[in-house]
Amino acid sequence: MAHKPSTIAIHNGLNEDSQFGCVVPPIYLSSTYNFTDFNEPRSHDYSRRGNPGRDIVQRTLAQLEGGSGAVVTNSGMSALHLLCTVFLQPGDLLVAPHDCYGGSYRLFNSQHERGAYQVQFVDQNNEAELQAALDKKPKLILIETPSNPLLRIYDIEKIARLAHDAGALVVVDNTFLSPILQQPIALGADFVVHSCTKYLNGHSDIIAGTVIAKEEKWATELTWWANNIGVTGGAFDSYLLLRGIRTLSPRIKQQQSNAQEIVNYLKTQPLVGKLYYPSLKDHIGHKIAVKQQKGFGAMLSFEFNGDEQQLRHFLGTLTLFTLAESLGGVETLISHTATMTHAGMSAEARAAAGITDSLLRVSVGIEDSQDLVADLDNAFKIAAQH
């Protein structure tokens, strides 16, 4: 019987312990496993290659995203690096979003500069620009939707169709929405990547990533290479990741509800310039979001309409919005994009992507929304006095 994502998130791995009857799967911290006899290994022999707890969370992630298999890695960046290692060779072309996460941009650009593969950053909502890149017969197309940090929405189904016609494989970074709100493989993607550090774990206490493959042959190859280059996730991180996934659905729903309340407030603030959130009718890709997403998520960004001194007072006055990088945790975070998450991009690259020095990105948590709005309101009032 096929189950809904919320049920998969709760029940995968429960009641599988036959030795003691543990309802929750235990943590398997052993690095090595004995052979039953000469040249007779068990299903696990060394934890870099395979770990019982990691097996469970990988199976859970694959089922949540509708894939054939998944690999949990030691960071979101290593998940991207794994994909590129397996499917790109020198001279092959990767087409990536011009406004992608700063760490992704840094990885692709540095690998391009050392000749590992070629990369072209394009505005994937510009059909002519996208088609010109596809005419070069790329091997991989990365779609990041909603984009980080401007929440631009890209049409997965349309881009996947064009990419497949050009002979390319399609990767979707689904970190911002999670499988609760978006299912890229059902829309035509070949792979889904996540920084599991974010919404999947949800508690800001691990670093992990994952690649989910549509086809079993790709999952098998990714698994082999993950062991080969040593990027697999650890036992305790796998346990915490699975524990976080259990509450993914209710967390996302509360965070999304809070985000909409904050957006409604920010629309009334004179110190807020441009506001970026997919529920807004004038947001880039709003209609696409309605079509391919089950909600608008809990990430938002806005331009601070004041000088640097006011910005410093605003950020310094906040008490419930922690000035920090990362996102997706139960706590609310705010970041200054140009000096934090996208500092690895050059000023020219940030300008081309539309990322200004006044842009603030907010990851909304599960606190009471009235408390969050009150905290914002107080900080804006203090900033306006300077």
Domains, the chain, with CATH or none = 5-244 (3.40.640.10), 248-385 (3.90.1150.10)
- Active site annotation includes 198: yes
Angle, helices 235-245 vs 52-65, to 10°: value is 40
pLDDT of residue 352: 87
Under the banding of pLDDT at 50, 70 and 90, the label for residue 46 is very high
Please tell me whether residue 20 adopts helix, strand or coil conformation: coil
Question: Residue 48 half-sphere exposure, CB side, CA atoms within 13 Å?
Answer: 8
pLDDT reported for residue 344: 83
- The one-letter amino acid code at 264 reads N
Q: Which of 17, 33, 48, 253 is an active site residue?
A: 48
Q: Check residue 70 and give its pLDDT.
A: 98
Whole-prediction pTM? 0.96
Of residues 54, 139, 152, 198, which has the active-site annotation? Answer: 198
**């974010």: which residue's tokens?**
198
48: annotated active-site residue: yes
- First vs last C-alpha separation in the chain: 61
Tell me the sheet residues that pair with 211: 71, 193
Helix 76-87, helix 216-229: angle, nearest 10: 110
pLDDT digits (tens, 9 = 90+) for 269-312: 999 999 999 999 999 999 999 999 999 999 999 999 999 999 99
What mean pLDDT is predicted for residues 154-158?
98
Is 332 in contact with 363 (CB distance < 8 Å)? yes
Predicted local confidence at residue 230, as pLDDT: 97
Catalytic, out of 155, 173, 190, 237: 173
Is 1's pLDDT higher than 80?
no
222 by DSSP, 3-state: which?
helix
- The pLDDT tens digits for 83-105 are 999 999 999 999 999 999 999 99
251 catalytically annotated: no
How much of the chain exceeds pLDDT 70, in percent? 100
The active-site residue, picked from 28, 54, 99, 101, is: 101
Q: Give residue 75's identity as a one-letter amino acid code.
A: S
Which whole number is the average pLDDT over 365-384?
Answer: 98
Lowest mean pLDDT among 7-11, 70-74, 86-90: 7-11
Q: What is the DSSP string of 258-284?
A: HHHHHHHHHTT-TTEEEEE-TTSTTST
Confidence of residue 126 (pLDDT cuts 50, 70, 90): very high
- pLDDT tens column, 166-214: 999 999 999 999 999 999 999 999 999 999 999 999 999 999 999 999 9
- CB neighbourhood size of 268 (10 A): 8
pLDDT at residue 343, rounded to an integer: 86
Is the model's pLDDT at 236 over the cut of 80? Answer: yes
Does residue 217 carry a catalytic annotation?
no
Mean pLDDT of 29-41: 95
Percent helix / strand / coil, the chain, rounded to 5? 40, 15, 45
